[in-house]
Every structure is written in C-alpha cells, then in structure tokens.
Structure 1
C-alpha cells in the first residue's frame, strides 16, 4: 500500500514524534509517583540515557515503543514504503538498545523495559 501522505507531510508527521515525555512514559511515571517512588529523568551519566532512574534502588526503567524498538509483538509491523530504510533504522535501534542494556548491567544497575 503506498503512503497516503506526500513527502513533506510525512516528514512533518515523523518530526513531531517525541522521544521524551511520551504518553506511555508519563503513565509509568505517574504510577511510580503514586506508589511513593522518587526518580530522576533521562540521566545522561548512564548509558543510553534511560527514561526513569531510581537511584535509591539502583534501578532503571526504559519505556519503549513497539515500532521504533522493533518489539516482537502483534503491534509491530514494518512499513510497506521504504522498507529497507526502516528495517535498517529499526535494527540499528535494537542493536543500540542491546549495547546500552549490557553496559547498564555491567555497571550494576537493575533494568526493566516497558
């Protein structure tokens, strides 16, 4: 199926997708706060700049989308247009996620991926 948007519209739509403070991330943060947990956001001192850092528990929570992180679930589907581009981009994200996770574990952090 061809793209329903022209190139400029698609580019504008993709540029509007946020990397931080997404709805799923905010839902997780509100739940943690309601339970009494206090946390830091996007700590650049840690590999991969994790979304939520619970320093007191030496724990990290990453909130990832199915599309950009290539999750193996029913919600992930590779686009029909520019398939090679997206496949290369998404698999690069998966590799980077794996490297960051290994570095976090090597530093002694407990990790959770939502």
Structure 2
C-alpha cells in the first residue's frame, strides 16, 4: 500500500512540476513548452543516432518518450506510448524496456531500513 501511495504522490509532484515549468515558460511568451518537450529536444540526438524513424517529427516524439522514461517515470512513458499507435510500437517498446530508470536502480540497490 505504501508503494502505491508513493507512486501517486510522485506522479502528482511530476504533474505539478510540469505545469509550473509550462506556466513559467508561457510567461516568457513560448506556448506549448513543458518538461516532456524539453526532454524530447535533449534526447533527440540519441534517438536520431539510433535511427528510429526517417521523420523528424516522429524522432522527436520517440525522444520525448525516451526522456520521459529515463528522467520521469515509465508509467507516464508507457501511457504516452499507447497514444503513439501510428508509429512503430515494437521498436518503441524495446526502446522503453531497455532504458533504465534512475529511481528503479535506487529501489533495487537501496538497503532496507530496519
């Protein structure tokens, strides 16, 4: 039960941070920017070098998924993957499964507190 509560709180904090970043960037006059878009541009070179697709727009969407999975949470990334049915789902699933999340490593490596 505690894991579920932690996940709900973590996702709520991520949504809050995403909205705050979107609002702050909106004050500067750039509409439509949020944390996922920023992560997409950060991971675009890696997705391009992997040769995901020939379309720049789809490569950016895959890069957003990779950034979301790596930095944020895999649940959000798989939810976004469900919305990207027109792209290549088997390739995207492999990409999302092979990237490791920092919080997952911490959960596995962390010693239990007694």
Q: Could you state the TM-score of these two structures normalised by the residue count of structure 2? A: 0.31
More helix by share: 2
More strand by share: 1
Give the structure with higher Rg (CA).
1
Q: Could you state the TM-score of these two structures normalised by the residue count of structure 1? A: 0.31
